[in-house]
Amino acid sequence: MKEDERTRGDGVHESQERVKSEVRDDLIRNSQPILSNKSQMLGMPQFGLRDNLIKCELLKNEDAYTYIKNYSFFLGTYNVNGKNPKESLSPWLASTTTPPDFYLVAFQELDLSKEAFLFNDTPKEPEWMLAVYKGLHPDAKYAFVKLVRLVGIMLLFYVKAEHAAHISEVEVESVGTGVMGRMGNKGAVAIRFQFHNSDICVVNSHLAAHTEEFERRNQDFKDICRRMQFSPDDLTLPPLTIMKHNVVLWLGDLNYRISDLEVDHVKDLIAKKDFESLYNHDQLKRQMDEEVVFVGFTEGEIDFQPTYKYDTGSDQWDTSEKCRVPAWCDRILWRGKNIKQLHYQSHMTLKTSDHKPVSSLLEIGIKVVNEESYKRTFEEIVRHIDRLENDCIPSVSLSQREFHFQDVKFMQHQAKTVTVYNDGQVPCQFEFIPKLDEPSYCKPWLAANPAKGFLAQGASVDIDLEVFVNRSTAPELNSGQQQLEDILVLHLDRGKDYFISVTGNYLPSCFGSSLSTLCLLREPIQGIPVLGSSKIFNLTVSPFCSPSNPETDKPQEIPKEIWMMVDHLFRNAKKQEELFQQPGLRSEFEEIRDCLDTGSLDTLPGSNHSVSEALLLFLDALPEPVIPFSFYLQCLECCSDSSQCRQIISMLPQCHKNVFNYLTAFLRELLKYSAHNRLDVNILAQASFNGKQNSKKQMNDWSLNTQVS
């Protein structure tokens, strides 16, 4: 705390390194949370705990030993548009009459530089962190708990010093939703923690931009909910998702706009303070009313004017050429019980950015443990389980033991559900276990969710058996070397094993097939008649064998699938802005994939962004990259010499050389229209880099592309 006071007093003129040391490292060290009362008691050895069984019963009887106590949470969100902190944040962060118990402060677009985008590092992190620390309510002492950042999306967590001892199980995660779902210019960061006996998850997200892209924002929200998973300290428990928490707080630049109104009409309603009429045209309200996104979430009444977009340094609406329609981009929502909003407002005095910061003060009822009641409940559960363990063995029944997945496609998720019912006399622990001499409990294209867990007596759980073929599993399935066949072993602790059969038929795809194989296929890959998989297998094993009919079996110079995607982009997307940077829609990718695999259409469906992402996914899924693995050592040795790079390219197998030259010619053609599409060699190289998985592959493909172009 002495370090806290010193930092608050003289931090303005200190160097970045000193700011990092005093505001970040020292505060973390001073606020290390200790175990909660519940965790301490669970670890008491005199009770002889059987954790797995006892925790299950404790959760069922939680109301017997907890009571609700209210705490205040300050939530703030601010898109700073890449600017440095130029003014005090106190009008925003210290706007409450009394100091809040918790601060969750979210930023977006912290740094818009290419360095931050490429390396996920920025000097603006400690600058804004210091500005936040100085802006906290002056009437309380706060301890820093955690920071998480993804490119320009940052979330800071502070708590009153007296509450730090009751915070535990702090974890952070991040999810990028940019191109191919990986790039971090859009996405979310999250902090989850346990306070007393309540699990809380806080999410800061920056969703897709542009008025017409509300469906993309919906998809970003769903992707974040699906992919954001926290690994609990107890490794016997399945990963935690966002919605599994008692309380979920979601804030950030959600980017939902005002639709169906002209800009002058919007400004007129704002001038009249007719926010109710304006709110009826808010995209987020409409999507929530239709239960498309944020199902179960609540947002307080909006009685402040839109927070976007202003001329930087002023309160004047956007006067640029685009003259964007004002919108409530910056939002705060919550999900859970015993939550009351005390205020929800914007802060117009801050003018650093083209957004205005927003804050919400929530009063949240937290479950607090009564230690005496907990001890009595705990001892009763232990005695009860002692009796059950002596007489009973775990047992379950399965709703189904054989599953067949019909017409599985590349990167198309399919799931079937098996219900496991505990028909025994005691709670049981279940887990899928590997078969003899196998490293995992299932094939890589299959997953069971949850793969392990606990069942109380008479309870049931739905386990999703999920099939998903990706770049790593598609090649052997395409060639027929592997089939969709597996047997899962469901094991009960101290009980028997249950066997579940999973089969399916996979529809071969050009995604995950080799260039040499595709060059030898005259027809679409799914147009091959019966026994086609054996034909594909023969082409895969011996792609350079002599054709039986030199005229009809002569290989194509490049795969027709590459030609269709590049030709589409060449004809339609030469002047397209944000090409290879803005992701497409998943539904459109599936249409493009089906078109390429079946030849059902002469032209590709979907937007230019969907086609460009499909091209990146195609290259990413190649079993042998355009620059084959065998050339890596030579590439590393010669990557700084353009003439030697050209010599390496001349040595490539013919189809690989053709594809390389064809793609680089297309990229050079795009650069001719850079005045329209705003592409440059760095953006194209970065798009290619993010489309790869193997680090050496990334480096060599990028180096050779750069040298030759």
- Structural domain range at position 459: 396-506
Q: Would you say residue 182 has pLDDT above 60?
A: no
Residues 145 and 169 in one domain: yes
Burial class of residue 624 (count of CB atoms within 10 Å of its CB; 0-12, 13-18, 19+): middle
Residue 391 included in any domain: no
CATH of the domain at 619: 1.10.555.10
Residues 486 and 339 in one domain: no
Q: Would you say residue 27 has pLDDT above 70?
A: no
Last residue of a domain, one of 506, 533, 568: 506
What residues contact 276, with CB distance under 8 A and at least 6 apart? none
Last residue of a domain, one of 331, 351, 369: 369
What residues contact 10, with CB distance under 8 A and at least 6 apart? none
Give the number of other CB atoms < 10 A from CB of residue 630. Answer: 10
What's the average model confidence in pLDDT over 570-595?
92
CATH of the domain at 450: 2.60.40.10
* More confident position, 160 or 682: 160
User: For position 229, what pLDDT does the model report?
Assistant: 93
User: For position 394, what pLDDT does the model report?
Assistant: 87
Residues 539 and 502 in one domain: no
Q: The whole model's pTM is what?
A: 0.61
Residues 348 and 404 in one domain: no
CATH of the domain at 146: 3.60.10.10
* More confident position, 38 or 203: 203
Q: Would you say residue 421 has pLDDT above 90?
A: yes
Q: In degrees, to the nearest 5, what angle opens at C-alpha 49 toward C-alphas 44 and 53?
A: 135
What's the average model confidence in pLDDT over 98-102?
97
Residues 170 and 301 in one domain: yes
What tokens appear for 266 in the block? 């919007």
Residue 659 included in any domain: yes
Task: Express each pLDDT in 292-328 by its tens digit.
Answer: 999 999 999 999 999 999 999 999 999 998 899 999 9
Q: Would you say residue 516 has pLDDT above 60?
A: yes
Give the number of other CB atoms < 10 A from CB of residue 371. Answer: 12
Residue 636 included in any domain: yes
Residues 120 and 258 in one domain: yes
**Sorting pLDDT into bands at 50, 70 and 90, what band is 689?**
low
75 and 249 Cβ atoms separated by less than 8 Å: yes
Shortest CA distance to 106 belongs to which of 140, 76, 133, 126?
76
What's the average model confidence in pLDDT over 469-474?
94
Sign of CA dihedral 251, 253, 255, 256: positive
Residue 295 included in any domain: yes
Residues 330 and 250 in one domain: yes
Residue 42 included in any domain: no
Helices (H) and strands (E) in the chain, counts: 25, 22
What residues contact 528, with CB distance under 8 A and at least 6 apart? 508, 521, 535, 536
249 and 200 Cβ atoms separated by less than 8 Å: yes
- From 365-379, 380-394, 623-637, 690-704, the region with the lowest mean pLDDT: 690-704
User: For position 37, what pLDDT does the model report?
Assistant: 42
Q: Are strands 497-506 and 402-408 parallel, antiparallel or unpaired?
A: parallel
Shortest CA distance to 66 belongs to which of 246, 242, 240, 192?
246
Residues 502 and 520 in one domain: no
Q: Are strands 484-492 and 452-455 parallel, antiparallel or unpaired?
A: unpaired
CA–CA gap between residue 77 and residue 28 (Å, rounded):
22
- From 27-41, 176-190, 356-370, the region with the lowest mean pLDDT: 27-41
Residue 194 included in any domain: yes
683 and 580 Cβ atoms separated by less than 8 Å: yes
Burial class of residue 267 (count of CB atoms within 10 Å of its CB; 0-12, 13-18, 19+): middle
Residues 500 and 520 in one domain: no
92 and 357 Cβ atoms separated by less than 8 Å: yes
Q: Would you say residue 533 has pLDDT above 60?
A: no
**Sorting pLDDT into bands at 50, 70 and 90, what band is 535?**
low
CA–CA gap between residue 513 and residue 619 (Å, rounded):
10
- Residues of the chain above pLDDT 70, percent: 84
Which 8-state DSSP code applies to residue 178?
S
Sign of CA dihedral 676, 207, 167, 131: positive
Residue 706 included in any domain: no
Tokens 């995607």, located at residue = 565
Q: Are strands 497-506 and 460-467 parallel, antiparallel or unpaired?
A: unpaired
Residues 231 and 320 in one domain: yes
User: For position 59, what pLDDT does the model report?
Assistant: 85
User: For position 129, what pLDDT does the model report?
Assistant: 96
CA–CA gap between residue 501 and residue 489 (Å, rounded):
9
Residues 490 and 636 in one domain: no
CA–CA gap between residue 97 and residue 72 (Å, rounded):
12
Which of the listed ranges 168-182, 422-436, 528-542 does the model predict with the highest average pLDDT?
422-436
341 and 360 Cβ atoms separated by less than 8 Å: yes
Residue 59 included in any domain: no
CA–CA gap between residue 161 and residue 281 (Å, rounded):
43
Shortest CA distance to 52 belongs to which of 697, 494, 437, 667?
494
Name residue 62's amino acid.
Answer: E
What's the average model confidence in pLDDT over 567-583?
91
410 and 525 Cβ atoms separated by less than 8 Å: no
Task: Express each pLDDT in 257-275 by its tens digit.
Answer: 999 999 999 999 999 999 9
What tokens appear for 366 in the block? 């937290």
User: For position 25, what pLDDT does the model report?
Assistant: 35
Residues 218 and 270 in one domain: yes
Taking phi over 0 as left and psi of -120 to 50 as alpha, with beta for the rest, 296 belongs to left
Last residue of a domain, one of 483, 506, 529: 506
Name residue 228's amino acid.
Answer: M
Q: Would you say residue 478 has pLDDT above 60?
A: yes
Number of domains comprising the chain: 3
* More confident position, 31 or 380: 380
Length of the chain equals 709
Average pLDDT, the chain: 86
Shortest CA distance to 680 belongs to which of 689, 692, 668, 691?
668
- In 48-123, which ranges are continuous DSSP H helix? 51-60, 90-93, 114-119
Q: Would you say residue 545 has pLDDT above 50?
A: no
